[in-house]
């Protein structure tokens, strides 16, 4: 697979939604044929492990939220780690989300559930609040005008890559 196609696919993959939008997975690209054979041996000898043009191992990180992914330093390291060709933004304190009317506060009854799962939302947000942004995608032109948008309280419902690319194409 050409490197540019692989990078484009990975840019889309790392933006896939996850619970609380914490992207608690990591992709490991395996290129060494001997490692592919070793993985195939523990993957029920599935031929596609060694026959595929690319082998990605998806790893789960159940402590990803502790690294404050919404903080600017973490956003920068994500961009550097994956050599992204676009700017990754941070919204500490949900200031931008608040301007769009997309912030809600967790009720007192739900907060213990988050704590029970070890999720320290104030630490995650870099504030002392229990606020979360409603997931949204906005295509903004160079004049600051919103040209396309998608907002849904269901974090699993996102604007698809095709719609994003089409909206970006209309900006040209």
pLDDT digits (tens, 9 = 90+) for 19-30: 555 566 677 888
The pTM assigned to this predicted structure is 0.47
For the chain, percent of residues with pLDDT exceeding 90: 9
> HSE-up of 140 (CA within 13 Å, CB side)?
8
How far, in Å, CA of 119 to CA of 41, rounded? 36
For residue 172, CA distances in Å to 12, 17, 140, 150, 165 come to 21, 27, 12, 20, 11
31: its two tokens: 């290129």
Place of tokens 């191992």: 57
């Amino acid at each position: 697979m050409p490197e540019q196609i692989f990078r484009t696919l990975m840019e889309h993959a790392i933006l896939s939604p996850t619970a609380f939008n914490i992207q608690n997975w990591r992709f490991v690209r395996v290129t060494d044929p001997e490692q592919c054979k070793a993985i195939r041996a523990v993957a029920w000898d599935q031929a596609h492990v060694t026959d595929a043009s690319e082998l990605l191992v998806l790893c789960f990180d159940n402590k990803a939220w502790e690294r404050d992914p919404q903080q600017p330093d973490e956003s920068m390291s994500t961009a550097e780690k994956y050599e992204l060709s676009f700017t990754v933004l941070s919204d500490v304190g949900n200031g931008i989300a608040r301007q769009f009317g997309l912030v809600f506060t967790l009720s007192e009854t739900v907060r213990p559930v988050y704590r029970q799962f070890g999720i320290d939302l104030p630490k995650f947000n870099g504030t002392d609040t229990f606020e979360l942004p409603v997931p949204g995608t906005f295509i903004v032109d160079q004049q600051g005008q919103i040209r396309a948008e998608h907002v849904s309280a269901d974090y699993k419902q996102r604007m698809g890559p095709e719609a994003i690319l089409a909206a970006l194409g209309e900006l040209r």
